[in-house]
Amino acid sequence: MGAPSGDDLLRLYELMVESRAFDDACMDLLAAGEEVPHFHSGAGQEALSIGSVAMLRPTDEIVYTHRGYAHLLAKGVPLATIAADMFYRRGGTNGARGGVMHVSRPDLGVPGREGVFGTRFGLAAGLALAHSLRGDDGVAVCFYGEAAGARGPLYEALNMAVLWNLPVVFVAENNGWSVNSRTEWLFPGGRMSTVWSGFGIPVTEVDGNDLTAVSSATARAVSRARAGGGPSVIEGLTYRLHPHIWWDDASYVPARELQAWWEKDPIPRQRRVLEEEGMAADRLDDVERRARNRVAETIEAVRGAPFVEWDLEVGVEGVR
């Protein structure tokens, strides 16, 4: 699969808008004093998440991040499901046990997410090893941020992936920050992937706010893995436009720097790309309106739905 074009691009744009609308709605609820459990904004990173996941088949797996609404949407998980898990309403995937941090849809290639950053690398290697042992051409894609990417399990999994020639792609989401620590305080040269070129595998740096660049890089990495070419690493340079989480005032973020990244916001940028390709403005307006309305309706419906029924006995071992 090559980089998307035409109507495919429009569909991806709609996903980006949908993800941003969800993010904005959560920010608005927080501003209004409402609880939005475990919400971690993914605003600003939509091109990287969606541009890469869109290159996958339903039978490929992703290991998404805690800012992973865009990854999940692009993999086909309905927004209503994500919102139901987030707000502990019926219709989610985990009965309020894992909330939005542990959305799973194994049938869509979303096995779940670990709770402490780092397990994801071995997990992705294991998912890829399963493809390899079965002899199918599935691929596992593991997204990670600055926190997980600084942990040793990445080294272990990469070594195993190269050793066993596994069909796995690691996508580093360099969004400038690890909570309130700058990427360059944590990784040499502020890059999360340069050291991995020592493994002799493709390590590609892309403009993570450029949907087409991300898609092209991912398509290359995934085709290579599918064809038995083994693992690779992609580092997408992007930016976390909102604070880490609700209690974070992000006062450590320099205003100018933030402003500069808002000017590189991937969504208006993608709209310009589509306009340059000849997409009519009113058609784009229509897509945006539809996506935003759908998100508003979904959130209203989910928040108006009954809470999931608790079963405190689930998982409790019988005392013999």
Partner 1 sequence: MSTTVERRVRTVRESLASTLGEAMAADESMVLLGETVRAGGAQGVARGLYERFGPSRVIETPVSENGIFGAALGLALSGFRPVVEIYSADFLLAVANEIVNDIAKWRIQHGQPGAQLPVLIRGCMGATAGLGPEHSQSMEPFFFHSPGLQICVPSTLENAPALLDAALESRQPTLFLEHRKVYELQGSGTPEPRPAAEPGTAEVVRVGTDLTMVAWGWMRTEAEAACATLAEHGVTVELVDPRWIRPFDYATVVNSVAKTGRLLVLEEAFITGGIGAEILARVTEAFPGRALVATRVAMPDVIHPYHAEMERQILPTAADAVHAALRLVRNQDES
Chain contacts with partner 1 (rule: CB under 8 A): 92-95, 97-98, 102, 104, 106, 111-112, 114-116, 118-131, 133-134, 140, 152-153, 156-157, 159-160, 163, 314-320
Distance CA 220, CA 126 (A): 22
The residue among 65 and 212 lying less far from partner 1, judged by its C-beta, is 65
Burial category of 15 from C-beta neighbours within 10 Å (exposed 0-12, middle 13-18, buried 19 and up): buried
Which residues are CB-neighbours of 135 under 8 A, at least 6 positions away? none
The residue among 122 and 208 lying less far from partner 1, judged by its C-beta, is 122
Distance CA 80, CA 60 (A): 22
State in angstroms the smallest separation of the CB of 24 from partner 1.
28
State in angstroms the smallest separation of the CB of 28 from partner 1.
28
State in angstroms the smallest separation of the CB of 148 from partner 1.
11
Which residues are CB-neighbours of 155 under 8 A, at least 6 positions away? none
**Sign, Cα dihedral of 191, 195, 198, 201:** negative
Helix or strand (DSSP H, E) at 27? helix 6-31
Give the residue carrying structure tokens 């700058």.
Answer: 182
State in angstroms the smallest separation of the CB of 231 from partner 1.
13
Token pair belonging to 103: 């959305």
State in angstroms the smallest separation of the CB of 317 from partner 1.
5
CB 124 within 8 A of CB 168: yes
Token pair belonging to 250: 């992000």
